Amino acid sequence: MNSDDIRRKIQDAVDAGFDAQLATTADFVAIPSTRGAEGPCQDMIADLLRERGYEVDDWHINVEDLKDLRGFGPIEHDFSKARTVVGTYRPATARGRSLILQGHCDVVPAGPLDMWDTPPFTPVVKDGRMYGRGACDMKSGTIGALFALDAIKAAGLKPTGRIHFQSVIEEESTGLGALSTLQRGYRADACFIPEPTGGKMVRSQVGVIWFRLKVRGHPVHVFEAGSGSNAITAAYHLIQSLEQLEAEWNERAKGAPHFGKVSHPINFNPGIISGGDWASSVPAWCDVDCRIAILPGWSVADCQDEIRRHVAAASRNHRFLANNPAVVEWCGFLSEGYELKDSAEAEAAFAKAYDAVYGGPVRELAFTALTDTRFYGLNHNIPSLCFGASGAALHGFNEYVDLDSLRKSTKATALFIAEWCGVEES
Ligand SMILES: [Zn+2]
Sign of the Cα torsion 86, 187, 142, 19 reads negative
Query: What distance in angstroms lies between residue 371's CA and the mean position of ligand 1's atoms?
Result: 7
Residues 200 and 211 in one domain: no
Cβ neighbors of 87 (< 8 A, separation 6 or more) are: 45, 46, 49, 50, 52, 54, 55, 56, 57, 164, 165
Supply the pTM of this predicted model. Answer: 0.96
**Nearest Cα to 278, choosing from 231, 322, 238?**
231
Residues 199 and 153 in one domain: yes
CATH number, domain with residue 279:
3.30.70.360
Q: Which phi and psi (to 5°) does residue 134 adopt?
A: 90, -5
Residues 193 and 117 in one domain: yes
Distance in angstroms (rounded) separating the CA atoms of residues 151 and 157: 9
Asked whether the beta carbons of 163 and 88 are under 8 A apart, the reply is: yes
Query: What distance in angstroms lies between residue 194's CA and the mean position of ligand 1's atoms?
Result: 9
**Nearest Cα to 197, choosing from 236, 148, 147, 144?**
144
Query: What distance in angstroms lies between residue 374's CA and the mean position of ligand 1's atoms?
Result: 13
Cβ neighbors of 227 (< 8 A, separation 6 or more) are: 220
Query: What distance in angstroms lies between residue 19's CA and the mean position of ligand 1's atoms?
Result: 23
Domain count, the chain: 2
**Nearest Cα to 387, choosing from 364, 420, 356, 370?**
364
Query: What distance in angstroms lies between residue 261's CA and the mean position of ligand 1's atoms?
Result: 24
Query: What distance in angstroms lies between residue 232's CA and the mean position of ligand 1's atoms?
Result: 32
Query: What distance in angstroms lies between residue 272's CA and the mean position of ligand 1's atoms?
Result: 20
Q: Which residues pair with 425 in a beta bridge?
A: 157
Q: Which phi and psi (to 5°) does residue 282 adopt?
A: -70, 125
Query: What distance in angstroms lies between residue 136's CA and the mean position of ligand 1's atoms?
Result: 8
Can you point out the beta strands (E) in 150-197? 157-159, 163-168, 190-193
Is the backbone peptide bond immediately before 138 cis, with ω within 30 degrees of 0? yes
The set of long-range contacts for 358-361, using a CB threshold of 8 Å and a minimum separation of 24, is 358/199, 358/408, 358/412
Query: What distance in angstroms lies between residue 125's CA and the mean position of ligand 1's atoms?
Result: 20
Query: What distance in angstroms lies between residue 133's CA and the mean position of ligand 1's atoms?
Result: 11
Domain boundaries, position 35: 3-205+337-425
- Residue 341, pLDDT score: 87
Query: What distance in angstroms lies between residue 332's CA and the mean position of ligand 1's atoms?
Result: 16
Residues 318 and 300 in one domain: yes
**Nearest Cα to 370, choosing from 221, 208, 239?**
208
Query: What distance in angstroms lies between residue 290's CA and the mean position of ligand 1's atoms?
Result: 19
Distance in angstroms (rounded) separating the CA atoms of residues 53 and 405: 29
Distance in angstroms (rounded) separating the CA atoms of residues 242 and 376: 31
Residues 273 and 344 in one domain: no
Query: What distance in angstroms lies between residue 193's CA and the mean position of ligand 1's atoms?
Result: 9
Q: In the listed set 287, 311, 334, which residue is the last one of a domain according to the structure?
A: 334
Measured N-to-C along each axis, helices 3-29 and 140-154 cross at an angle, to the nearest 10 degrees, of 140
Residues 384 and 394 in one domain: yes
Residues 22 and 121 in one domain: yes
- Residue 221, pLDDT score: 61
Residues 318 and 356 in one domain: no
Instruction: Show the DSSP H helices in 173-276 as ranges.
Output: 176-184, 231-253
Query: What distance in angstroms lies between residue 88's CA and the mean position of ligand 1's atoms?
Result: 22
Residues 281 and 367 in one domain: no
Query: What distance in angstroms lies between residue 225's CA and the mean position of ligand 1's atoms?
Result: 45
Q: In the listed set 334, 369, 404, which residue is the last one of a domain according to the structure?
A: 334
Q: List per-residue pLDDT tens for the chain, 426 residues long.
A: 789 999 999 999 999 999 999 999 999 999 999 999 999 999 999 999 999 999 999 999 999 999 999 999 999 999 999 999 999 999 998 899 999 999 999 999 999 999 999 999 999 999 999 999 999 999 999 999 999 999 999 999 999 999 999 999 999 999 999 999 999 999 999 999 999 999 999 999 999 999 999 999 876 666 665 665 799 999 999 999 999 999 999 999 998 989 988 889 999 999 999 999 999 888 999 999 999 999 999 999 999 999 999 999 999 988 889 888 999 999 999 999 999 989 999 999 999 999 999 999 999 999 999 999 999 999 999 999 999 999 999 999 999 999 999 999 999 999 999 999 999 999
Q: Transcribe 247-288 into DSSP letters.
A: HHHHHHHTT-TTTTTSS----EEEEEEEE-S-TTB---EEEE
Tell me the pairing of strands 163-168 and 83-89.
Answer: antiparallel
Query: What distance in angstroms lies between residue 75's CA and the mean position of ligand 1's atoms?
Result: 19
Query: What distance in angstroms lies between residue 372's CA and the mean position of ligand 1's atoms?
Result: 9
CATH number, domain with residue 398:
3.40.630.10
Q: Which phi and psi (to 5°) does residue 402 adopt?
A: -80, 125
Query: What distance in angstroms lies between residue 171's CA and the mean position of ligand 1's atoms?
Result: 7
Distance in angstroms (rounded) separating the CA atoms of residues 88 and 86: 6
Distance in angstroms (rounded) separating the CA atoms of residues 276 and 262: 39
Distance in angstroms (rounded) separating the CA atoms of residues 133 and 310: 36
Q: In the listed set 304, 334, 364, which residue is the last one of a domain according to the structure?
A: 334
- Residue 93, pLDDT score: 87
Distance in angstroms (rounded) separating the CA atoms of residues 31 and 16: 26
Query: What distance in angstroms lies between residue 138's CA and the mean position of ligand 1's atoms?
Result: 5
Query: What distance in angstroms lies between residue 80's CA and the mean position of ligand 1's atoms?
Result: 23
Distance in angstroms (rounded) separating the CA atoms of residues 351 and 90: 25
Residues 118 and 201 in one domain: yes
Distance in angstroms (rounded) separating the CA atoms of residues 137 and 395: 8
Q: Transcribe 84-146 into DSSP letters.
A: EEEEEE--SS--S--EEEEEE--B-----GGGSSS-TTS-EEETTEEESTTIIIIIHHHHHHH
Distance in angstroms (rounded) separating the CA atoms of residues 362 and 290: 34
Query: What distance in angstroms lies between residue 137's CA and the mean position of ligand 1's atoms?
Result: 4
Asked whether the beta carbons of 196 and 390 are under 8 A apart, the reply is: yes
Sign of the Cα torsion 268, 272, 277, 279 reads positive
323, HSE (Cβ side, Cα atoms, 13 Å): 9
- Residue 228, pLDDT score: 58
Query: What distance in angstroms lies between residue 417's CA and the mean position of ligand 1's atoms?
Result: 21
**Nearest Cα to 294, choosing from 224, 244, 369, 241?**
369
Residues 281 and 214 in one domain: yes
Residues 250 and 310 in one domain: yes
Query: What distance in angstroms lies between residue 105's CA and the mean position of ligand 1's atoms?
Result: 8
DSSP assigned state of 202: E
Query: What distance in angstroms lies between residue 106's CA and the mean position of ligand 1's atoms?
Result: 8
Query: What distance in angstroms lies between residue 196's CA and the mean position of ligand 1's atoms?
Result: 7
Distance in angstroms (rounded) separating the CA atoms of residues 276 and 236: 14
